[in-house]
Structure 1
Amino acid sequence: MRRKNITIRLAILLAIANVTVTVASAGVLDSIDLTRKVVPLVPLDMDRVAEVSNMLPQTPKGFGDPYQNRSVWDKLDHNPKYSQVIKVAEGYLNKPFPAWSDEQYLLYFTKGTRPGGEKMMKDRLSWLAPLVWAECLENKGRFVPTIQMVLNELIHQKSWSLPAHDKNKQNIEGRNYTVDLGASGFAQNVAQAVYLLNDKLTPELRAEVLSQMNKHVFTPVLRSVATGNKDSYWLTVTSNWNSVCLAGVTGAALAIIPDKQERAKFVTIAERYSKNSIAGFTDEGYCTEGLGYYDYGFSKYILLRESILQATNHAIDLFADPKVKRIALYAPNLEIMNGIYPTIADCHVGIKAPAAILWYCNRNLGLGLKKYNDLTFAGTANLCDDVMHAFPNSASESKVDVNTSKSTSGPRSYFKEAGVLIERPITGSQAMMGAALKGGNNNEIHNHNDVGSFSITVGEEMLMGDPGGPSFYTAKTFGPERYTYKLLASYGHPVPLVAGQEQHEGASAQAKILNTKFTDKEDQFIMDISSAYTVPALNKLVRTFTYNREKLGYLTVKDDFEFKTRQSFELALITRAKWKQIAPDQIEFDGQKQKMIATIKTKNGFIVKSETIEENAPAFTRLGLVLPAAEAGTVTVVFTPIKSN
């Protein structure tokens, strides 16, 4: 029976040094982590503001150079990868600008759906970058009238914040303006446009942009710091919200505020509260939000670091904390094999390593990843990230040791604090199977109830494991009904259903690692996952993973369970491959190129219960291996790859 009445922890702003509040990137909830410290909200340190002010240039500066630096822009104009944006911009000259729609914005409040309002706002902002790029490249003035129209439309739209983050509709109704993921990025892109075009825009428009920026972004943030109100709660959270919002607000301030002491206030704020972003990672650099949100959040931390580094002439460096290097290595260490990564938390299927992050960190931090020594950037969809990469920056100006190369993370990566083990074959061996094994707890950022979950890769295909997160969010995704989605609940993960009960959410649902034994030949990873189930009759539930690297390799998953009375026990296997039962004790999984066999060993047999699940994500199959009711038992599944002819 699925648990319907679930209470999810709302994120509360607690300005206490021994409490970390984490907020989901798509809503105002997630989890409260009592194990890490955060930097609490305090009034602005004006002595530090004065020091920072002395580091800043007299005039505001964004990324790159304004259009007047023709030597650079003309060079970019002759690069076909950049000049092609002119054709995109030309397409906007005779088209109507996407209209603001209250109806689309309010769909989140009337129907609980997010895509309509978010797409409407994205479509409007998407005009800005191509037009500004085109004008800076061409420098003929023919895009300026359209750019001025677009800027005027954007800065006067009713809300800069996304509908899902507009608490009680305060932004769209003009009662109070708050900064969220949307407003912060919106502000930085607008400010960057004004910086690049400067005197091509009328003085009246530039003044109005700054006025609206103060109203929607700068004043609300300064007010939160001064009064301790919760409008800018992201200052003291440890999720991606912290780095994303700080990057946008700080970047906008540096690019558009005339008074350098006012600019210094936002650098001082970022310098202090960006520490909370770093606190959100384990000491080993593991990101519980998953690889997708690591890409989103840490890429903005990099943008924040680069903007402050350039503005202060390298006097303030947010990479100074040695933990940043461990965070930078998270993606390489998370790789299972052959470019395949686990889709833990709200990741999308097929997620890959973020090349831009690895290039930037490899060159700045000396990671020794030869693959990322060089990378070609020619994007024009974003005025901040793309301009930063098109012009000299700390990474492009860094020298790398071409003789140093780290091509693999070895046979395993063990994130001990997170309880996550990545298993790989020995380089050059015949083994063709890798795995991701997850302990952890059910109170993680972007949490799925997945204590004891696992994923299996054969060759270049993931044939079994965590189904990943939703393709889009709804009002339910981060509300009390979150775990009614099978995709997010333990029901949709390769973990047991115990006495008919799924795992519960919360920090108390935590894998206790009982033993680890690692050798070149074989690894063993044993965990007690009984705390994840609210089943009074349950005495014992121990999951043992054994990963073997000999020959083609194999993975064994064994569950030992005991009850006070006879109870049901069901083991779930999650796959997007085709499957068929080829023997009473064997199931074959057939992917696009690879195959594997699961051999199930249990004393009294089992029946297979198949269910197709499709909830805002690519459909997957849940195979329930249902055992007869018993007081105790053991079920072992051995996954073995089949070598193709």
Structure 2
Amino acid sequence: MDHEPEAGPLQQAWGAAVSAEVLREVLGPPRHALPVPTAEDRTVWAIDGGRMHRATVADLLERAREDRGQDWPSVPARGYSRYVRDGDRIQHESRIAARQHRLSRASIAAAVTLDPEWIDEVADGVLTLCEQSSWCWPAHDDAYARRGYVLPVVDDPYLDLGAGEVAAQLAWVDHLLGSQLDEHVPGLRSRLRVEVHHRVITPFLQRRDWHWLGLDGPVHNWNPWIHQNVLTAAAALIKDDELRARVLATAITGLDRFVDAIPADGAIDEGFDYWWNGACRVFEGLAVLSSATGGRLEARQIPSLRATVGFPYALYLGGDGCFSFSDCRPRLGEQLPWHLLSRWAREVGDERSGRFALSRRPQQGPIVSEQEGLGRLLLGLTDQLWSQGPAEPPVAPRSHYLASTQVLIAHDQRGELSLAAKGGHNGENHNHNDVGSICVALRGRPVLVDPGRATYTAETFGPQRYELWNIRSDWHNVPEICGYVQEPGAEYRSEVGVELDGPEVTFDAELSRAYPRAAATRWRRRAVLSRTGGLIEVRDSWTGGPHAVQSPHRLHWILAGEAEHREEGSVSVTTESGTIHLAWDPRVATGTLEERVLEDDYQRAAWGERLTRLTLAVDREHVRQGSLTLRIRPGAH
């Protein structure tokens, strides 16, 4: 169903300028559409004396030389079929990524050297992608659902994240090296335009049932990710002025649905990782629109966009840690495009987020990576305020409460303990059943943790999602009430009150609505961080439901580190950041430790070889009505 909501923030800010008729008049030529100088500008790209970041270029050149003479990665049929057969999506996606990364490296080598051999390498990569049967990842293609095919239907392409990424990459290649490609490989630019039109532009305009449009359900990070890539491809590659304006106008309207969904506090319910491929993609699309219109379309004045620039810093725990929930990871990624956060913090005047971004810039070696895409690589290489700005020391985290998602992050004055708490509901994007979860970090290192994501497979987003252990509530820091775990769905939610002022920070949540009605008539969780005392207390109090006596409560706590049962009512957890001691009343609950050996690469990278679950089983005499307090203190350091 194609129905348009009321005008969103972009349309309200820009008025008639977002119409195809007006856009046609204000758009500059395609060759000036993208906000990076072309290879013809030798003041930027000359290998000696250019303004690009030399250490990054040297690293890219070295690895590009290693690529030369090697066959381009193949994309066999089994990569498509495996997703249907056994759920594996990594084999195919990793081969596509290898192709794209190699093309990005070759593009930089060609830009800085203008060597015909590197132009040929780029041409080989472009043609390889043009000859690829589909740019859509098998996990997203609807060929199997609609026709029973495991291979893509080449005359009915599916527009997903993968297709958008390839289209935008080809647009960046064309922008950067257009003149050189015309001279050395005439006809290649025409070919790549044909493929982009067929695989991306045409389906974007013709189909309005894409789930990522946000027309008939919640809007999520696919929306800005794909719209940003469509904007990039259309602005740079479409020669027909009328069609170009029509595509851009349609993409602006679609992107505006995501902007409209960003709450006033800028929070993203998908979590830290997805900000970079959600809200951050909005900013990249806006940069293209500003460049393509000569600065006529600007959006830095929109309050929710200004607020969301601060979201990554709000979730920062110190060190290399962040509060991770949903399908996110707990460590700040080295390959994240920190330069984009730096750029937009400058745009909106967010000094703290700007310092945070600069503090993550490597002090030696490469400062951007091709793994984030060619467009991001080019923007980072040519942003001198990012590459040559003064070094920032590590920044201290600050306490934040994001009311729209009921997420609290608070820190004590000693820089030791951090409390992260999440209310919300179980119908969020990339949802885990985790309403009321409490996490704790010691000196920036998460210790009481959310297990986060595993490698994506067919099960991750299929009907079996909530059978996966790392998604279920019994492997999150929430109670199991009368034998009941939390259920998925937006109706399973919490009521939260937070107090940030004063010597204590409190998170007070009523959790009974996150469970089936039979679980309990009331379950209150109150977490308190002492700003000065080096103490976090989590007090659970309850009134049981009709089956309370038959089914005891179990309070689960997921621990990352070496856990040791010191004595009744006490467990210690030791990490490289030190030791945390957990204590409770053993007269109320009995504690047991259960190790889970991690076999997934993502989880092992996050947590090491294992996680440990501490389960506090409430004694039967306290099940009908009672309370239990968990005290969390740092050990000597």
TM-score range, shorter chain: 0.7 to 0.9
Distance of 2:63 and 2:205 partners within structure 1: 38
SS of aligned partner of 2:31: coil
1:274 aligns with 2:258: no
Q: Which residue of structure 2 aligns with residue 21 of structure 1?
A: none
Deviation at 1:315, TM superposition (A): 0.6
Map 1:479-490 → 2, pairs under 5 A: 479-490=462-473
Q: Which residue of structure 2 aligns with residue 49 of structure 1?
A: 20
Q: Which residue of structure 1 aligns with residue 443 of structure 2?
A: 459
What TM-score results when the alignment is normalised by the length of structure 1? 0.86
Q: Which residue of structure 2 aligns with residue 368 of structure 1?
A: 351
Contact preservation (8 Å) 1:563, 1:631 = yes
Distance of 1:420 and 1:285 partners within structure 2: 12
> In the superposition, relative to structure 1, how do residues 293 and 230 fare at CA in structure 2: closer, same or farther (>3 Å)?
closer
Deviation at 1:553, TM superposition (A): 3.1
> Which amino acid in structure 2 is aligned with residue 440 of structure 1?
G
Q: 1:142 aligned to 94, 111, 117, which one?
A: 117
Q: Which residue of structure 1 aligns with residue 279 of structure 2?
A: 298
> In the superposition, relative to structure 1, how do residues 431 and 252 fare at CA in structure 2: closer, same or farther (>3 Å)?
closer
Q: Which residue of structure 1 aligns with residue 166 of structure 2?
A: 186
- Listed one character per residue, the Cα deviations across residues 3-22 of structure 1 (whole Å, up to 9, x for unaligned) are xxxxxxxxxx673639xxxx
Q: 2:231 aligned to 229, 238, 250, which one?
A: 250
- Listed one character per residue, the Cα deviations across residues 253-307 of structure 1 (whole Å, up to 9, x for unaligned) are 1222223332222321232221222234322111110101112222322211111
Distance of 2:401 and 2:211 partners within structure 1: 38
1:641 aligns with 2:634: yes
Map 1:58-77 → 2, pairs under 5 A: 58-61=29-32, 62-74=34-46, 75-76=49-50
Q: Which residue of structure 2 aligns with residue 81 of structure 1?
A: 56
Q: 1:91 aligned to 66, 73, 86, which one?
A: 66
Stretch moving more, 564-573 or 334-343: 334-343
Distance of 1:185 and 1:346 partners within structure 2: 21
Q: 1:584 aligned to 568, 590, 596, which one?
A: 568
Q: Which residue of structure 2 aligns with residue 220 of structure 1?
A: 203
Q: 1:203 aligned to 173, 186, 191, which one?
A: 186
> In the superposition, relative to structure 1, how do residues 358 and 122 fare at CA in structure 2: closer, same or farther (>3 Å)?
closer
Map 1:103-118 → 2, pairs under 5 A: 103-118=78-93
Q: Which residue of structure 2 aligns with residue 172 of structure 1?
A: 152
Stretch moving more, 258-267 or 183-192: 258-267
Map 1:119-138 → 2, pairs under 5 A: 119-138=94-113
1:594 aligns with 2:582: no
Contact preservation (8 Å) 1:420, 1:437 = yes
Contact preservation (8 Å) 2:339, 2:357 = no
> In the superposition, relative to structure 1, how do residues 537 and 110 fare at CA in structure 2: closer, same or farther (>3 Å)?
closer
Q: 2:411 aligned to 424, 436, 455, which one?
A: 424
> In the superposition, relative to structure 1, how do residues 611 and 533 fare at CA in structure 2: closer, same or farther (>3 Å)?
farther
Contact preservation (8 Å) 1:282, 1:418 = no
Q: 1:508 aligned to 478, 487, 491, which one?
A: 491
> In the superposition, relative to structure 1, how do residues 65 and 154 fare at CA in structure 2: closer, same or farther (>3 Å)?
same
Distance of 1:640 and 1:65 partners within structure 2: 54
Contact preservation (8 Å) 1:420, 1:436 = yes
Q: Which residue of structure 1 aligns with residue 424 of structure 2?
A: 440
SS of aligned partner of 1:274: helix
1:493 aligns with 2:465: no
Q: Which residue of structure 2 aligns with residue 571 of structure 1?
A: 555
- Listed one character per residue, the Cα deviations across residues 31-88 of structure 1 (whole Å, up to 9, x for unaligned) are xxxxx99999xxxx99921211222223433342332222321133893431443332
Contact preservation (8 Å) 2:317, 2:397 = no
SS of aligned partner of 2:205: helix
Distance of 1:415 and 1:291 partners within structure 2: 13
1:390 aligns with 2:390: no
Q: Which residue of structure 1 aligns with residue 607 of structure 2?
A: none
Give structure 1 stretches of 5+ with no counterpart. Answer: 1-12, 19-35
> In the superposition, relative to structure 1, how do residues 546 and 93 fare at CA in structure 2: closer, same or farther (>3 Å)?
closer
Q: Which residue of structure 2 aligns with residue 308 of structure 1?
A: 289
Q: How many residues align?
A: 598
Deviation at 1:108, TM superposition (A): 0.6
> In the superposition, relative to structure 1, how do residues 14 and 342 fare at CA in structure 2: closer, same or farther (>3 Å)?
farther
Deviation at 1:545, TM superposition (A): 1.2
SS of aligned partner of 1:545: strand
1:612 aligns with 2:596: yes
> In the superposition, relative to structure 1, how do residues 436 and 519 fare at CA in structure 2: closer, same or farther (>3 Å)?
same
Distance of 1:552 and 1:232 partners within structure 2: 45
Contact preservation (8 Å) 1:251, 1:304 = yes
Distance of 2:515 and 2:383 partners within structure 1: 54
What TM-score results when the alignment is normalised by the length of structure 2? 0.87
1:543 aligns with 2:525: yes
> Which amino acid in structure 2 is aligned with residue 293 of structure 1?
Y
> In the superposition, relative to structure 1, how do residues 436 and 535 fare at CA in structure 2: closer, same or farther (>3 Å)?
same
Contact preservation (8 Å) 2:569, 2:591 = no
Deviation at 1:594, TM superposition (A): 1.0
Q: 1:351 aligned to 317, 320, 332, which one?
A: 332
SS of aligned partner of 1:242: helix
Contact preservation (8 Å) 1:17, 1:39 = no
SS of aligned partner of 1:150: helix
1:320 aligns with 2:304: no
Fraction of identical pairs, as percent: 21
Distance of 1:276 and 1:497 partners within structure 2: 37
SS of aligned partner of 1:462: strand
Distance of 1:418 and 1:546 partners within structure 2: 19
> In the superposition, relative to structure 1, how do residues 450 and 605 fare at CA in structure 2: closer, same or farther (>3 Å)?
closer
- Listed one character per residue, the Cα deviations across residues 303-336 of structure 1 (whole Å, up to 9, x for unaligned) are 1111111111111123331111111111222223
Distance of 2:408 and 2:383 partners within structure 1: 38
Contact preservation (8 Å) 1:178, 1:232 = no
Q: Which residue of structure 1 aligns with residue 368 of structure 2?
A: 379
Distance of 1:389 and 1:78 partners within structure 2: 8
- Listed one character per residue, the Cα deviations across residues 92-141 of structure 1 (whole Å, up to 9, x for unaligned) are 33111212211112211121111011112112222211111111111121
Stretch moving more, 346-355 or 525-534: 346-355
> Which amino acid in structure 1 is aligned with residue 451 of structure 2?
P
Contact preservation (8 Å) 1:223, 1:229 = no
Distance of 1:385 and 1:309 partners within structure 2: 16
Deviation at 1:482, TM superposition (A): 0.3
Distance of 2:473 and 2:270 partners within structure 1: 17
Q: Which residue of structure 1 aligns with residue 617 of structure 2?
A: 626
Q: Which residue of structure 2 aligns with residue 534 of structure 1?
A: 516
Contact preservation (8 Å) 1:575, 1:620 = yes
> In the superposition, relative to structure 1, how do residues 284 and 609 fare at CA in structure 2: closer, same or farther (>3 Å)?
same
Distance of 1:85 and 1:530 partners within structure 2: 54
SS of aligned partner of 2:572: strand
Contact preservation (8 Å) 1:244, 1:297 = yes
Contact preservation (8 Å) 1:39, 1:276 = no
Contact preservation (8 Å) 1:148, 1:205 = yes
Contact preservation (8 Å) 1:247, 1:301 = yes
Distance of 1:413 and 1:127 partners within structure 2: 41
Contact preservation (8 Å) 1:131, 1:143 = yes
> In the superposition, relative to structure 1, how do residues 306 and 78 fare at CA in structure 2: closer, same or farther (>3 Å)?
closer
> In the superposition, relative to structure 1, how do residues 516 and 383 fare at CA in structure 2: closer, same or farther (>3 Å)?
closer
**Aligned-residue CA RMSD in angstroms?**
3.0
Contact preservation (8 Å) 2:527, 2:536 = no
User: Runs ≥4 in structure 1, deviation > 4 angstroms?
Assistant: 36-40, 234-237, 372-378, 395-398, 404-410
> In the superposition, relative to structure 1, how do residues 632 and 611 fare at CA in structure 2: closer, same or farther (>3 Å)?
farther
Contact preservation (8 Å) 1:112, 1:476 = yes
Stretch moving more, 599-608 or 444-453: 599-608
Deviation at 1:436, TM superposition (A): 0.3
Contact preservation (8 Å) 1:467, 1:492 = yes
- Listed one character per residue, the Cα deviations across residues 140-178 of structure 1 (whole Å, up to 9, x for unaligned) are 211222322221121121101111110124772224112
- For CA contacts below 8 A with separation 6 or more, give which structure has more relative contact order: 1
